[in-house]
Amino acid sequence: MISDRFSQAGAGPERAHERTGRYDRSHSRQNCHQIDLNQMDATQIKAQIDAALADIDKLPSMPMIASRLTTMASNPDVDIKALAEEISHDPAITAAIIRLSNSAYYAPSRPIRSVQEAIMTLGLNVVKNIAMVAASRGILKVDLESYKMDAADMWDHCLVVGEVAQSIALLRKTKTGDDVAFTAGLLHDMGKVVLVHFFKTAYRQVIMDMDSNPDVSFLDLERKYTGYTHAEIGAKLLEQWQFPAELVEAVRYSYEPEKASINQELCCVVHVANAITLSAGVGLDIGGLSQHLSAFALEKLGMGEREMQAIYSRMPEFLEKLQDLRSF
């Protein structure tokens, strides 16, 4: 059962290194001497993170058109021609939209030669998703050494969580649009790309805690040693980029959907999508399956083991379908 793969009361979590063998604790112990034993405490690390977040030049840069699209796509009266012209001012995003619009993933009925043709043929929400993929690739497709993830694993995970979130929204007929679910799923781990630079300072202590307490939540370890979780950092990034509040919240509470107040449904969709993706072994990091699967989220979406298994069984289909985007 999928739910059994996540930590429940009395059951220890499954870690990436325990499941895949790509990373093991004996190796980590051998390398602990490489870390400076005079580690900074969480207060000092948090102060450094706060300083980095306050300096926009030190943060990953998201093209302004990406955040604008998330807002404009929800406006039924948006001027398509004017929007296409605005997108076209960004040559990199324009080239990516035309390239991906013609891929097997989107399978257009005819060749697409411009942003306006892409919008008219595929629809504004689809083009928005393409733009988000293009805009976020340079940020998300990176090696995360402290999380024991390479760039391909990170990118696969983000894309698949987006795809699964979109599928859940469609299957459960959520009030939240499936395109919004895709965007939230795609961006949910954005905070890791910032936190990874600070998390490595506490790497030795984290390994020791994981060894001594198999039931510990990796999210709690992030907060213990850096003052933040990657979900909280991701939300702060989206705020900096002026993304809509419901997307900021979906990232912030992707592991704690019951805390959401703006759009609990979206947070639940992302939470469950992430759980299913991790249970399939796509994008497992050092934390493995240490986070619990929220009963609140399952109830909110009307999902049980059967519904989760139905989506889980489609993972090969998702990976194949996403091949063009994965290799982008």
Tens-digit pLDDT profile for residues 63-99:
888 888 888 877 888 888 888 988 998 999 999 999 9
Q: Is residue 99 part of a domain?
A: no
Nearest to 225 by CA among 199, 207, 204: 199
Grouping H, G, I as helix, E, B as strand and the rest as coil, residue 228 is coil
Q: Nearest 5°: CA angle at 303, between 300 and 305?
A: 140
Contact 279, 5 (CB under 8 A): yes
Examine the pLDDT at 315 and tell me if it is beyond 60: yes
* Residue 175 domain-assigned (yes or no): yes
Partners of 149 in beta bridges: 144
Q: Is residue 201 part of a domain?
A: yes
**Considering its fold, how many domains does the chain have in total?**
1
Q: Is the pLDDT of residue 14 over 70?
A: no
pLDDT at 8: 41
Taking only Cα atoms into account, the Rg of the chain, rounded to an integer number of angstroms, comes to: 20
**H helices present in the chain, as ranges:** 16-20, 25-31, 42-54, 64-72, 80-88, 91-101, 115-122, 124-140, 151-171, 178-187, 192-199, 203-212, 218-226, 230-240, 245-252, 264-279, 295-301, 305-312, 315-321, 323-326
Q: Quote the mean pLDDT of the chain.
A: 86
Q: Does the structure show a pLDDT above 80 at 314?
A: yes
Tell me whether residue 129 is in a domain.
Answer: no
Q: Residue 259 and residue 246: Cα distance in Å, rounded?
A: 13
- 44-53, 198-207, 267-276, 299-308, range with the lowest pLDDT: 198-207
Give me the phi and psi of 144, to 5 degrees please. -120, 80
pTM of the shown model: 0.87
What is the rounded CA–CA span in Å between residue 172 and residue 189? 23
Residue 134 maps to a domain = no
Q: Is residue 38 included in any domain, yes or no?
A: yes
CATH of the domain at 165: 1.10.3210
Residue 251 domain boundaries: 3-62+139-326
Tell me whether residue 239 is in a domain. Answer: yes
CB 270 within 8 A of CB 172: no
Residue 213 lies in a domain: yes
Q: pLDDT class for 291, splitting at 50, 70, 90?
A: confident
When pLDDT is cut at 50, 70 and 90, the band that residue 10 belongs to is very low
